[in-house]
Structure 1
């Protein structure tokens, strides 16, 4: 029995090959697009319908969805479906070769007897005999098939061949089809096919791989361009965040620019925002980066959004694009503040406040308004009423919505009226009021009180555990300060002070039995991999109340520790990398920061900050107080006592920390070349030096201001 390989002459098998690959692409893509079309639009409706004046957002979302159907991915998707349907129709028309079956030819069932076979053969042979159908050639062919089928069922040898090989003539030559068209391996086309292989495998595929790799190398974490990080690192200045953010290279890639038809609108925006009449003017009043087209255009669009000014349709489309990048770029700015050698706390806070202004479409003056989130509902008379409230004036949103609904109605309804009062209560039900619980530990699990001036040691790593709980106006604890410091001798009720244990009242360090074996690596892991602890939880959040922001936005918060300049003798300092968290009802996490290397006896006043990226006036600052010691005291161990016979009290004695004492004694010594920095300052200094080197290289090679 021979074997023969045949290529597809008709193209039917090659159609199946192409259809298989199209199916691999079309099935997941179709499911994704159907889900986005129905479920995605439903989510957008849910997040916009409850935002009150959400006309601006709905308009932008509708415009974006209309433009999305013209994207290249959608065109490819439609073309793939058209090709799939055409090939499927072509395959359906192909005749399928049936397996030889003599019973089917004689129109009998498989269990027919010999008598039935002979009877049926006589009937069909008389009907299709060539002498009776001389004008019908198909009848003659069918008569031959009938005779052959009868022989296959009555002759023992023939029937055995049919049952064993599927053919009454015995074994046949077996052929294997290859799903490639015959012209592809034709001798006449071999040079053209070889050229296609060379172009595809040696030129096109490597080129695509190199392009994708080079594109990926342009980005750092969170899809931020290397150039953007370099610009932020070099040009970061306090209170000029809009200017620095506008120079991001992402806007250049998206071709954000001004057109001649936009000049009149640009002048109006500059006038209302007190930016000057002409962004391209020269002299002392000239704009920063006025020779960078996308930076000028983006800055104008930002200020137009913050002033809630109407712009041209082209500018409006660009405005939607630039606003979408604000949360991502703000996080990059905040991280640049931490990596910067100056540790700018005030600049990092300005970045966060700028994000709040852009989310709420408010000018910078809104940061000085304690009721900025409800400014449209509260009039001047109502604000005066709150300021004169007895027994304690109401000066911010937390104090306002800490009162019950009945108390608010009694205070404000005569001044506001029914409609404004209802709007105020609705907004209060949507705003998040977060309470915080803090616990501070060192690398050995020793806990500290946060506002009693406990002694901490210069250069050591500390771990701050925090628990955030989200409340609305109805569930916000009445007269709550917004935070609780675990271990404080400051109970909220007298009953708690009576039941408090002496260990909780003592200012001595307390070591919990469960944390005795906690390794110092956990603290360093929190410093080097802050996202791992955060990512281990299922992140859920709630839609933010941002009616003028043209994209869906979730509530998110920055948590970090910093020291302001006016609270200490050293400079403004960002002590920890700001972590961005999201929560639906509550969130628990931890992060590490280092104690500054100050002289012994110095009092250190850091603060824990909780800053929203969406709301103005809902941030929280928790003051802390510590006394800094130069080094941890050394406790000598008794050498004569065997390790196996140590008592329980001796095993719980404080562990000697020689590395910390040696580090403090040799603070001015230089590290040997090639040593790994094992202190917090060494790790952070190495990161900052590397970031500065990368920024200098990028700016030197690529920038021309």
Structure 2
């Protein structure tokens, strides 16, 4: 059997080639584009469904949100996918409608035009009719036929007939699929002949050199460099390096604002290729506006000591935080661009701070994130996150509130008439603005810690080096709400079934608030932030004396149950107990990354028992259990308590044994006599 290779000058195999290449590219590209997000807590539900509040400069903020959504849609990639699948469908259409005659399977029944169920007599009769009709001596060629065509057609009819009737030819057809035995076949390479034609070799080599020597290495290198250029937090590696070098255990929120502007992302927004677009008067405008908005002289001095893009970046970031109107469209757009970049850089700093386990930098990162989402200066009043609230309104509300700022919870807890009198009036809020502020305040997702305790699964006491679960029971209680009393059953934490391996290993997604839960958190109410933001809460344990975290923050991005019905949520932190017995006092922190004034802080005590004392206690408990047949045992059994089975006295045991022995002996003797009689009869 020979094989011939030829070039597909008719283009019959070319659609197969294109279809294969397109399938290899389009399938993973389409999946990566339209696959659902695996990030926990991703939601598109707003916190307030009918939110008519429009902050100052809302047009620019909405425009920035639209630009980001267009960027997220990846218009170029989507267009490429649509064009690619259209070409894929066209290639499939060409394959379906193009008849490849050379590739057809030789079928004698089809050639003769007879059914496969026909017997030999019917085949002979049908062939006789065809031979009378198509014999070259009986028919004349038409305008589109030649005598050779007629001879070939009759030869095919004869071969088909013999393949069904002649023994040898039939065997060839069965074994090789053709009456003549093994056949040579040709492979059509999916390339047109002009590619290998003489005179085109240099052009073809140039195209191949361009594709595989320049373009392919360029795109592969660009992809590889892109993967190495960014960290898993989504910031540039150079930016992460700058944040790492600037790390300080005593850092606070204001100092962190300065550090975030060292990122390369800030340089791209306010410098780099756009350096020439900036002029000195614009920098002066930024600094003048943020000082008028309330920036402290100390921070203003820091800005004045910087130069170039870094000075502009820090000024723009403070302008966003203080909600300063920079008058010029270009400056306001740049101000809105640095805010998301600052959030990304702050998350990178948060990851760096976690590696050091120091509480202060981690808390500074979380609290600054609240300020960036709400556009509120560090250490300012949480009331500024309410719609229409300005420094003047806050000052009017807090004028008799003492040194500490009011939280939203305190504001709502104030009697209605007094609350309205504090912030409604001439130069303050009107009734409509007041109602909008109250609407958000009563929807603020504040957490209420119902219970927090330590436990070891299956054990009553916690011993050194054991695997401890810190169980937190909480529920979402917006300010002004009156939740129903907590069911005591909801405050218990039952051990999982022994067959539930995932729960025993602490991987139960529902108890950890991870993906797959029943309820996701709504988007943060952040009218000044030019992005949709999904809020996250963090729970962690810290040693306040040492300033170190005992258990790293556990993010809560979704809820096990719906929060609308004040359902108790359960979250767990797992860690190894200290190696020595004693009492250890920790501080539990529950911190939001989106809202101010809703953080929770609570002291919790971990008691580590001495293993030897635990064993002694267990023995004493066993001894102290009353016997079942005693009055105390019966009373304890009625209450559901443990009881001991009564021990049998030795005399009773002997009596029972003798009675059982006598009975057994009688049975044995009877059986023995029966057996003996049987044996005797047989003998």
Fold shared by both chains (TM-score > 0.5): yes
Are 1:248 and 2:263 an aligned pair? yes
Aligned to 1:353: 367
CA deviations on 1:574-598 (whole Å, 9 max, x unpaired) are: 555334322343351215599899x
Q: Is the CA contact 2:53–2:436 (under 8 Å) kept in the aligned structure 1? A: no
* Contact 1:256–1:318 (CA under 8 A) maintained in structure 2: no
Of residues 306-315 and 196-205 in structure 1, the stretch that sits farther from structure 2 once superposed is 196-205
Q: Per the alignment, do residues 46 and 543 of structure 1 end up closer, same or farther by CA in structure 2, a change over 3 Å counting?
A: closer
Tell me: CA distance 1:117–1:49, structure 2 relative to 1, closer, same or farther (3 Å). farther
Q: Which of 590, 614, 619 does residue 573 from structure 2 map onto?
A: 590
User: Residue 696 of structure 1 aligns with which residue?
Assistant: none
Indicate conservation of the 8 Å contact 1:276/1:285, yes or no.
Answer: no
TM-aligned CA distance change 1:64 to 1:17, over 3 Å: same
Which residue is equivalent to 2:384?
Answer: 372
1:427 aligns with 2:440: yes
1:546 match: 526
Contact 1:436 1:468 in 2 (8 A): yes
Match of 1:164 among 162, 174, 177: 174
Report the equivalent of 1:396: 407
Match of 1:363 in 2: 377
| Structure 2 counterpart of 1:271 | 288
**SS of equivalent to 2:440:** helix
- Cross-structure match for 1:129: 139
CA distance in 2, matches of 1:649, 1:478: 42
CA apart distance, 1:311: 6.7
Residue 345 of structure 2: which of 329, 332, 335 is its match? 329
Quickly say closer, same or farther: Cα 1:648–1:3, change in 2 above 3 A: farther
Aligned twin of 1:694: none
Where do 5+ consecutive residues of structure 2 fail to align?
Answer: 295-299, 564-568, 624-683
Structure 2 Cα separation of the partners of residues 311 and 410 of structure 1: 34
**Residues 66-105 of structure 1 mapped to structure 2, 5 A cutoff:** 66=70, 73-74=77-78, 76-77=80-81, 80-81=84-85, 84=88, 87-88=91-92, 91=95, 94-97=98-101, 98-101=104-107, 104=110
Distance, in Å, in 1 between the alignment partners of 2:525 and 2:315 is 24
**Distance verdict in 2 for CA 1:23–1:615, change over 3 Å:** same
Provide the rounded CA distance (Å) in 2 between the counterparts of 1:593 and 1:166. Answer: 72
Structure-1-length-normalised TM-score: 0.61
Q: Is the 8 A contact 1:404 1:474 kept in 2?
A: no
- How far 1:443 sits from its partner (Å)? 8.1
Q: Which residue of structure 2 aligns with residue 657 of structure 1?
A: none
Query: How far, CA to CA, are the matches of 2:189 and 2:375 in structure 1?
Result: 60
Q: Residue 360 of structure 1 contacts residue 546 of structure 1 at CA under 8 Å; is this kept in 2? A: yes
Shift of 1:243: 1.0
Whole-angstrom CA distance in 1 between matches of 2:183 and 2:336: 68
CA-atom RMSD, angstroms?
6.0
Q: Deviations over 1:383-433 (max 9, x none)?
A: 8689889xxx99432234458999988998999665235423431343101
Q: Does 1:298 align with 2:313?
A: yes
Per the TM alignment, residue 332 of structure 1 is displaced from its structure 2 partner at its CA by 3.1
Give the corresponding residue for 1:234.
245
8 Å CA contact 1:184–1:190 kept in 2: the answer is: no
Q: Please tell me whether the aligned partners of residues 317 and 335 of structure 2 are also in contact (alpha carbons under 8 angstroms).
A: yes
Superposed displacement of residue 611, structure 1: 2.0
Whether 2:579 is the aligned partner of 1:581: answer: no
| Residue 385 to residue 147, structure 1, CA distance change in 2 (3 Å) | closer
Q: Confirm whether residue 467 of structure 1 aligns to residue 447 of structure 2.
A: no
- The counterpart of 2:452, out of the listed 422, 434, 439, is 439
Q: 1:70, 1:331 → 2: CA distance? A: 24
Q: What is aligned with 2:673?
A: none
What secondary structure sits across from 2:303 in the alignment? coil
8 Å CA contact 2:393, 2:423 repeated in 1: no
The residue that corresponds to 2:643 in the other structure is none
Q: Which runs of 5+ in 1 are unaligned?
A: 278-283, 449-455, 481-485, 488-511, 565-569, 654-705
Selected match of 1:649 from 609, 619, 638: 619
Match of 2:66 in 1: 62
2:5 pairs with 1:6: yes
- Residues 17 and 179 in structure 1, CA contact (< 8 A), matched pair in contact too: no
Q: Is the 8 A contact 2:382 2:405 kept in 1?
A: no
CA distance in 2: counterparts of 1:43 and 1:634, whole angstroms:
47
8 Å CA contact 1:611–1:620 kept in 2: the answer is yes
Distance 1:164 1:215 in 2: 59
Q: Hey, what's the Cα distance between the residues in 1 that align with 2:362 and 2:292? A: 23
CA apart distance, 1:149: 1.5
8 Å contact from structure 1 (residues 47, 543) kept in 2: yes
Partner of 1:22: 22
1:177: which partner in 2? Answer: 187
Distance 1:378 1:315 in 2: 22
Q: Identify if the C-alpha distance between structure 1 residues 369 and 48 changes in structure 2 by more than 3 Å, giving closer, same or farther.
A: closer
After TM superposition, the structure 1 = structure 2 runs for residues 287-686 of structure 1, keeping only pairs within 5 Å, are 287=303, 290-291=306-307, 293=309, 295-308=310-323, 309=325, 321-340=337-356, 343=358, 345=360, 347-364=361-378, 367-374=379-386, 376=388, 395-401=406-412, 418-441=431-454, 464-473=470-479, 475-477=481-483, 534=512, 538=516, 540-562=520-542, 576-584=551-559, 585=563, 586-590=569-573, 592=575, 607-623=587-603, 648-649=618-619
**1:404/1:583 CA distance change after superposition, 3 Å:** farther
How far the C-alpha of 1:45 sits from its partner, in A, is 8.3
1:153 aligns with 2:161: yes
TM-score w.r.t. length of structure 2: 0.63
| Whole-angstrom distance in 1 between the partners of 2:552 and 2:604 | 18
2: CA distance between counterparts of 1:615 and 1:213? 38
Structure 1, 610-619 or 406-415: larger mean CA deviation: 406-415
SS in 2 for 1:559: strand
C-alpha distance in structure 2 between counterparts of 1:124 and 1:242, whole Å: 95
In 1, the alpha carbon distance for the partners of 2:133 and 2:32 equals: 61
CA distance in 1, matches of 2:450, 2:45: 35
CA contact (8 A) 1:334 1:348 kept: yes
| Residues 1:339 and 1:91: Cα distance change in structure 2 (over 3 Å) | closer
What residue in structure 2 maps to residue 693 of structure 1? none
CA deviations 1:468-524 (Å, max 9, x no partner) are 3223346454999xxxxx99xxxxxxxxxxxxxxxxxxxxxxxx9979x9xxxx99x
User: Cα distance 1:123–1:48, how it changes in 2: closer, same or farther (>3 A)?
Assistant: farther
- Post-superposition Cα deviations, 1:344-384, rounded to whole Å, max 9, x if no partner, equal 52x443332321122112334xx432422225269978986
CA deviations 1:518-569 (Å, max 9, x no partner) are xxxx99x99xx999995866463321111222222112122234566xxxxx
Q: Does the 8 A contact of 1:334 with 1:578 survive in 2?
A: no
The answer to whether the 8 A contact 2:383-2:407 is kept is yes
Offset, 1:244: 0.5
Native 8 Å contact 1:439 1:464 kept in 2? yes
**How far, CA to CA, are the matches of 1:35 and 1:209 in structure 2?**
23
**Distance in 2 (alpha carbons) for counterparts of 1:469 and 1:16:** 59
Match of 2:681 in 1: none
